[in-house]
Amino acid sequence: MVNVDILELFHENDFVKICAPMVRYSKLPFRILARKYGCDLCFTPMIMADSFVQSAKARSNEFTTCIDDKPLIVQFAANTVSDFVSAAELVAPYSDGVDLNCGCPQRWAMKDGYGAQLLTQPETIRDMVRQVRNRVSDRYSVSVKIRLLDEDRKTIELARSLEVAGASFLTLHARTVHERHSPIHADSLREVCQSLRVPLVANGDIKTLEGAKVLHANTGCKGMMAARGMLTNPAMFSGYKTTPLSCVQDWVNVSLDLGVIFNCFHHHLVFMLEHVLPKEGKRIFNTLKTKSAVLDFLHENYEISYVPGSSGLSAQSDVIVCDKSSDREENSVGSFFTSAVQKCEVQDEILDSLGGLYD
């Protein structure tokens, strides 16, 4: 696959409309849907770099793409330079850039030295960026997603150092590690943006296209990254206030043509129909247990039916996996976090808890 020049994307647009990396949710079928409705750039879910390097099973489970899935950034969680560099080299032929997660505030991630915990090790982050930049094409994007530090001055110092290390662009979630649902700090976004030469992407509280335009005007950030807003309305960057039924129809066709599992199929629809279904409809829909029950509900209430093959995609012929071998293959899954996510899936609040990680 030919790499897209991500910096050209920033130069060609007033601001780049971006689908955030979301655990379990920003996978290939959802990225295809988002691209149909105005999204310029998509991220994969966060992938554990050590697992990706050590295990062919992890690579096939955690990363899939297709020829039209571009431009694409692959986000990794890593706590060593060698893991991040090796993972980037493996995925480079299939993507347009790699991103280092330094923003995840979850306890399990920080306990093991991943995500926002890396903000306490700026030299390690810089070395990760430098080493990947030295090992892949200049055209290949290397970026970092960070959170605000306790002072804007410190955030600016970190961002500038990553710029010097060779980062193509940076994403700033405009809250500190300890802030969850408080309003974002737009003034801090503006200060950091004005201090950099590389593009800065804003993340946090972006729920509508109009909101993205306002934040762009107020901060100057060259990218607007949405997470929960995209889940509840994958067509938000096309200007829709709520998910249009055409988007629900497209999700049904794309996801079922690609053979997604029921939980993924249903969870996305729960988000997408959040502002569409009446209260009683939500109560019924959220308890459905099979694909056929979901399709019956959609047909009866909205005349939406699955049309096999209408997406033009096939799981057998169109999906591309990372089939490169690793020099560090150990037939191990490292700290493969699928099991941790599966434990969460039995909890009733899983949709809200995962959806709220990013916005």
First to last CA, the chain: 32
Closest residue by Cα to residue 270 from 254, 250, 284 = 284
Q: Cβ distance 8 to 222 under 8 Å? A: no
19 is catalytic: no
Give the CA radius of gyration of the chain. 20
Pairing of strands 320-321, 64-65: antiparallel
Residue 239 backbone class (left: φ over 0; alpha: ψ -120 to 50; beta: rest) = left
Q: Which helix (H) or strand (E) holds 168?
A: none
The DSSP 8-state label assigned to residue 141 in this structure reads: E
The whole-angstrom separation of Cα 169 and Cα 222 is 10
The whole-angstrom separation of Cα 24 and Cα 210 is 27
Return the structure tokens found at 327.
């020099």
Query: Of 39, 104, 221, 247, which is the active-site residue?
Result: 104
Closest residue by Cα to residue 52 from 42, 67, 64 = 64
Question: What residues are annotated to the active site?
Answer: 104
